[in-house]
Amino acid sequence: MSTRDTSERDDPIIETRDQLVAPMQAGEKPKADWRIGTEHEKLVYMRGDHHAPSYEEKGGIRDILMALTEFGWEPVEEGGPDGKINVIAMRGSDGTVSLEPAGQLELSGAPLENLHETCAETGRHLAQVKAVGERLGVGFLGLGMWPDKARSDLPMMPKGRYEIMKNHMPRVGDLGLDMMLRTCTIQVNLDYSSEADMAQKFRTGLALQPLATALFANSPFTEGQPNGYLSFRSHIWSDTDPHRTGMLPFVFEDGFGYERWVDYMLDVPMYFVFREGKYIDAAGLSFRDFLDGNLSVLPGEKPTQSDWWDHLSTAFPEVRLKSFLEMRGADGGPWSRICALPAFWVGLLYDQTALDAAWDLVKDWTMEEREDLRNAVPKLALDAPIPGGGKLLDLAREVMKIARAGLSARARLNSSGDNETGFLETLDEIVTTGKVPAQVLLDRYHGEWGGDIDRVYKYSF
């Protein structure tokens, strides 16, 4: 989830619909300027007893963040619900390190030109947090969900928007608190050149998001036991908040573009408004009313550009549009798979021949078929049936060939003369064996671990 920049620039009041469309239009870039932004979260635990550290405790989340100053990171502060000023993120040349609701640590990486740079950035970050962890007695776990923690075992970070979300989630779904407190993900942010290019990438990415979920499925345990799913993290989104999640049928309709996205976002209920360093609870209220000056918690006020930007960050579909496209469907995982997710999507979406080929594979699916696949994947992963017959594994083989060809066509070489295709190798192995990461963990749990979930803590970054 995004960290609010409190050093606001010019922040005009929104008076016209053009201002609502402007962020998406401003994202258009020529192909030469397309960049790759990778976000990845990790679970944080104390090595002594595996508990999830609180913000304030010795060696806890605040200490972890502040320890990163030795690597050149600078703190970002925010007033908490109790009026205290808290460090909620760190900013640096590699992006932003921020904390998720229960202390999951996230790197929102910088926009980079190629996958070699992306993987180098990931390596630097993980080396830094490991060094900090060694000193503080902290470890980091690369999974899509806490394997052994109940909600009651987990702390809440002192960030204003999280308190509002925590109170609102039980009103709209049964698993929203699990999403906030117990899950971790990898995401990729990608650019587009035009409205038409955005639409094709959005549709292709949304249709193939279940495949990404399957390849990265890595959350098979809940509170120490197998939960019957391979990606329980993905299942959680199906019962979080129907107003701001899902497969978005309108994206596949003729005429989809920026205007239709604005309409969707105006129908997504609000969470908050940020004023004078504090979050004001607006959960469930209408941004349309806000535009008319009729928001009950701020009577007579109209939204600013920053209010709209904030609101754009509060929808959580499988693919999200802001001034770039976010691919949101992958469980958290260890180092090699962090690099593999951007490789997968860049290979498919940043070369036109590859993009056309990928869209050709899925363009004739009905919306019902897309929904069926998305709903089957959390339990079945690559064994999920696909439209027209066969399994998702069959489609994976074709898609991986397209992604590899797309990366080869980009011809972005490192100093050794290697292109970017090597970053797909961990996915190639999954497709070759037909066994996703969660199935490997379950084999270990039922085999060498002897049902001892504590052994999962060896499965770290």
Which of 286, 186, 171, 180 has its CA nearest to residue 237? 180
Give the β-pairing of 95-99 and 105-109: antiparallel
Checking if the pLDDT of 102 tops 60, the result is yes
Enumerate the β-bridge partners of residue 305: none
Q: How far apart are CA 394 and CA 402, in angstroms?
A: 13
DSSP string, 167-218: HHHHHH-SSHHHHHHHB-EEEEEE-BSSHHHHHHHHHHHHHHHHHHHHHT--
Q: How far apart are CA 193 and CA 189, in angstroms?
A: 14
Amino acid, single-letter form, for residue 242: P
Q: 7 pLDDT band (50/70/90 cuts)?
A: very low
Residue 291 lies in a domain: no
DSSP string, 222-285: ETTEE-S-SBHHHHHGGGT-TTS-S--GGGGSTT-SHHHHHHHHHHSPP-EEEETTEEEE-TT-
Checking if the pLDDT of 6 tops 50, the result is no
Give kind and range of the element (H or E) at residue 134.
helix 115-136
When the pLDDT of each residue in the chain is averaged and rounded to a whole number, the result is 96
State the helix-helix crossing angle for 335-349 and 195-215, rounded to 10 degrees: 140
pLDDT digits (tens, 9 = 90+) for 172-221: 999 999 999 999 999 999 999 999 999 999 999 999 999 999 999 999 99
pLDDT digits (tens, 9 = 90+) for 346-364: 999 999 999 999 999 999 9
Which residue range(s) make up the domain with 439? 17-268+315-447
3-state DSSP assignment of residue 86:
strand
Residue 83 lies in a domain: yes
Name the CA dihedral angle for 232, 233, 237, 238, rounded to a multiple of 10 degrees.
Answer: -10
Residue 175 lies in a domain: yes
Backbone angles phi, psi at 256, to 5 degrees: -60, 135
Q: 10 pLDDT band (50/70/90 cuts)?
A: confident
Task: Give the HSE-up count for residue 144: Cα atoms under 13 Å, Cβ half-sphere.
Answer: 30
Residue 292 lies in a domain: no
Among the ranges given (9-18, 209-218, 448-457), the one the predictor scored with the smallest mean pLDDT: 9-18
Give kind and range of the element (H or E) at residue 69.
none
Which of 285, 252, 61, 319 has its CA nearest to residue 164? 285
Among the ranges given (2-16, 239-253, 282-296, 373-387), the one the predictor scored with the smallest mean pLDDT: 2-16
Q: Which residue has the tokens 């180092």?
A: 335
3-state DSSP assignment of residue 308:
helix
Checking if the pLDDT of 9 tops 70, the result is no
Contact present, 378 and 151 (Cβ < 8 Å): no
Mean pLDDT confidence for 80-87:
80
pLDDT digits (tens, 9 = 90+) for 423-447: 999 999 999 999 999 999 999 999 9
Enumerate the β-bridge partners of residue 222: 225
How many domains would you assign to the chain? 1
pLDDT digits (tens, 9 = 90+) for 212-222: 999 999 999 99
Mean pLDDT confidence for 51-61:
97
Q: How far apart are CA 312 and CA 333, in angstroms?
A: 27
Checking if the pLDDT of 460 tops 90, the result is no
Q: 286 pLDDT band (50/70/90 cuts)?
A: very high
Q: How far apart are CA 395 and CA 246, in angstroms?
A: 22
Residue 161 lies in a domain: yes
Q: How far apart are CA 415 and CA 287, in angstroms?
A: 49
Q: Which residue has the tokens 């803590």?
A: 457
pLDDT digits (tens, 9 = 90+) for 239-280: 999 999 999 999 999 999 999 999 999 999 999 999 988 899
Residue 278 lies in a domain: no
Contact present, 247 and 365 (Cβ < 8 Å): no
pLDDT digits (tens, 9 = 90+) for 118-170: 999 999 999 999 999 999 999 999 999 999 999 999 999 999 999 999 999 99
Name 14's Cβ contacts closer than 8 Å, sequence gap at least 6: 20, 291, 302, 303, 304, 305, 307, 308
Give kind and range of the element (H or E) at residue 357.
helix 352-362
| CATH (domain of 392) | 3.30.590.20
Q: How far apart are CA 119 and CA 129, in angstroms?
A: 15
Residue 274 lies in a domain: no
Q: Which residue has the tokens 């600013």?
A: 304
Residue 303: count other Cβ atoms within 10 Å of its Cβ: 22
Amino acid, single-letter form, for residue 178: D
pLDDT at 3: 54
Tokens standing for 205? 């990415």
Residue 6 lies in a domain: no
